[in-house]
Structure 1
Amino acid sequence: MIAITGAAGFIGSNLAHRLSRLGHDLLLVDDPPTAAKAVNWAGLGRFQFIPLDQFLGDLPDLDRSVEAVFHLGACSSTTETDWSYLLRNNVEYTRRLWEWCAEVGLPFYYASSAATYGDGSQGFSDHTPPTELRPLNLYGKSKNDFDVWALAEVAKGAPEPAGWAGLKFFNVYGPRERHKGKMASVVWHARRQILETGEVRLFRSNDPTYPDGGQRRDFVFVEDCIDHMLWLWEHPDTTGVYNSGTGVARTFQDLVLAVFAALEREPRIQFIDMPAELGKQYQNYTQAEMSKLRDAGCSKPATTLEEGVRRTLSPENTVSETQNAL
């Protein structure tokens, strides 16, 4: 049985569906799902559910039934300002799971974030020690703090899980993310805007280096991130913190044009001013350096932006989203 925390969320639910198709029994861990999240489990095979706040207390009874832990549950809001909440949810909870997996000899794979790279002035290489990174927001700090702690534990020879990795997810998009609301990817926001108004609104650039719509991000299809996680699980001797992206930066205009094409609509883009507070922590450019994972042997090509958007917005992936909105 595979345990997945954050299992009703975006990446977690997509991982659950992949593992279910592969024939695995699942232990899904999350807050009791709302109707908006429950739809993400439609069509799953065998699974058990444990509430997130109960999971840690149940760990002593689970060591003989769990084969691996994929820890994707966290506060993912980049605008969260309550550090005590982030420390409790994103750092201390992850430590408890790491220590349990180390104690009982289980593999452990957890979500880090590209937000750890801050403004990108030091690049986006997963060879850079986390101690040298300066995230722009408290969410990124919480993810970086755990990376620092985990690597320090390994360096001092403390017990570690039987195979582990942290994955620095870049700008992930894909099915099963409508429940995220304002934190959903630009793919879903663009789809909604096109269906409602026929056009997409993008932020004007706040940096003369980039034209309006020319800000560039490493947009990565969720199934590629799952490929990375499962490859690492299959290769337990490959441990560490790894980027999970495509290695290619594309513009927001590229992404929006891909959405218009997937919906078979003529492109109409309106540029609007970026809120001042957002501009203070806005990343105008991200591009994952993927050589570390590829050199380790994970060589599956990344899904192109156009193909990923087409698959995300295909009828089989949008029908449940539409039904849930009614």
Structure 2
Amino acid sequence: MYLVTGGAGFIGSNLVAALAARGEEVMVIDRLGSGDKWRNLAKHRIAGLLPPEALEAFWAAAPPLRAVLHMGAISATTETDGDLVAATNLTLPLRLWSLCAERGVPLIYASSAATYGDGALGFEDDAAPEALARLRPLNLYGWSKLAFDRRVADLLARGAPRPPQWAGLRFFNVYGPNEAHKGRMASVLFHKYQQVMRGEAATLFRSDRPDIADGQQMRDFVHVDDCVAVMLWLLDNPAVSGLFNVGSGRARSFLDLVRAMFEALGRAPEIRFVDMPADLRGKYQYFTEAPLERLRAAGFNAQTTPLEEGVRRTVQDFLAAEDPYR
């Protein structure tokens, strides 16, 4: 049995779908709330669904676990409740690390490209304590993810007990099916599609930097299927551990993304620029791009999904479908 925390969420539910397709038993730790988040899991067999506070009791009584895949987090980059973020994004994964080390269970966890801050120091997935100490995230969420990465590095340096396999995955800008529950934190593709379906122009933020044109802010957009492929590969290669970037390896502009969406819809682009919200100013990444050399060197050779293809599949196979859930 696999344990997937955040298994009803965006990346987590796509992972659950892939594991279920392999015929695996999957226990999900998550909260569904009162919306349609349950639909992310509705098409797949799961062993059960438990809230996070039931983790300790489940662990005490659980059958042998093949791996823990920790995707659960407070992922809103605008969250300001430091105690909530620390409890969810630092204390909980540290407890999972200890439990996995005690029982000899592999642990794969979601880190984030938000740990790199504005990108001025680059995007190298170096797990050395001194490299991690140099990073300066722009928000509370990014700090919490970096704090856990740094604690893992410290535990490893001290020779403390560790899971037999561990992997921290620094996901870049992920898009794909099963995002509807994320609200403001859903991908740009999801939001632009909703705008267009309401009969509006697709809006993009104006640049507030003189060296970057409106719409030319760039991100490493990565399809969720590529993220899942990395995790499945890690499960199949238990000798591989480390901190790894997970992206497409190529930065593309927001204009590229939106134009690909209109192409998938068979429509002429209609784009309007708006001012950046005040709570994002000074905390906004203008460029991200994932170096994938460390992941490639570890043996992962699958090709990433080109942006135009990933957008086409997401729009035509899911967002525009009668049933948009995977």
Q: 2:158 aligned with 1:159, yes or no?
A: no
Q: Give deviations 1:226-261, integer Å, cap 9, x for gaps.
A: 111121222222211110101100000000001111
Question: In 2, are the aligned partners of 1:108 and 1:165 still within 8 Å (CA)?
Answer: yes
| Distance change in 2, residues 1:117/1:61 (3 Å) | same
Counterpart of 2:137?
Answer: 135
Q: 2:93 aligned with 1:94, yes or no?
A: yes
Q: 2:295 aligns with which of 293, 298, 311?
A: 293
For residue 80 of structure 1, what is the amino acid of its counterpart?
A: E
Structure 1 segments unaligned to the other structure (5+ residues): none
Counterparts of residues 9-158 of structure 1 (less than 5 Å)? 9-62=9-62, 64-127=63-126, 129-158=131-160
For residue 104 of structure 2, what is the amino acid of its counterpart?
A: G
Q: 2:306 aligns with which of 304, 307, 314?
A: 304
For residue 22 of structure 1, what is the amino acid of its counterpart?
A: R
For residue 310 of structure 1, what is the amino acid of its counterpart?
A: R
Question: In 1, are the aligned partners of 2:216 and 2:254 still within 8 Å (CA)?
Answer: yes
Structure 1 residue 320: Cα displacement = 5.9
Structure 1 residue 15: Cα displacement = 0.2
Q: Give deviations 1:271-324, integer Å, cap 9, x for gaps.
A: 11112331110000000111000111101111001111111112455436669x
Structure 1 residue 198: Cα displacement = 4.2
| Distance change in 2, residues 1:320/1:125 (3 Å) | farther
User: With structure 2 as the length reference, what TM-score do the two structures score?
Assistant: 0.95
| Distance change in 2, residues 1:320/1:182 (3 Å) | farther
For residue 83 of structure 2, what is the amino acid of its counterpart?
A: S
Calculate percent identity across the aligned residue pairs. 47
The alignment's C-alpha RMSD in Å is 1.5
| Distance change in 2, residues 1:156/1:163 (3 Å) | same
Q: Give deviations 1:138-168, integer Å, cap 9, x for gaps.
A: 1000000000001111111111111110100
CA distance in structure 2 between the partners assigned to 1:7 and 1:216 by the alignment: 29
CA distance in structure 1 between the partners assigned to 2:227 and 2:277 by the alignment: 30
Q: 2:274 aligned with 1:272, yes or no?
A: yes
Deviates more, 1:27-36 or 1:251-260: 27-36
For residue 224 of structure 1, what is the amino acid of its counterpart?
A: D
| SS class of match (1:181) | helix
| Distance change in 2, residues 1:82/1:320 (3 Å) | farther
| SS class of match (2:234) | helix
User: With structure 1 as the length reference, what TM-score do the two structures score?
Assistant: 0.95
Q: 2:239 aligned with 1:237, yes or no?
A: yes
| SS class of match (1:165) | strand
Q: Give deviations 1:98-146, integer Å, cap 9, x for gaps.
A: 1000000000000100000001000011026212111010100000000
| SS class of match (1:168) | strand
Structure 2 segments unaligned to the other structure (5+ residues): none
Counterparts of residues 222-233 of structure 1 (less than 5 Å)? 222-233=224-235
For residue 290 of structure 1, what is the amino acid of its counterpart?
A: L
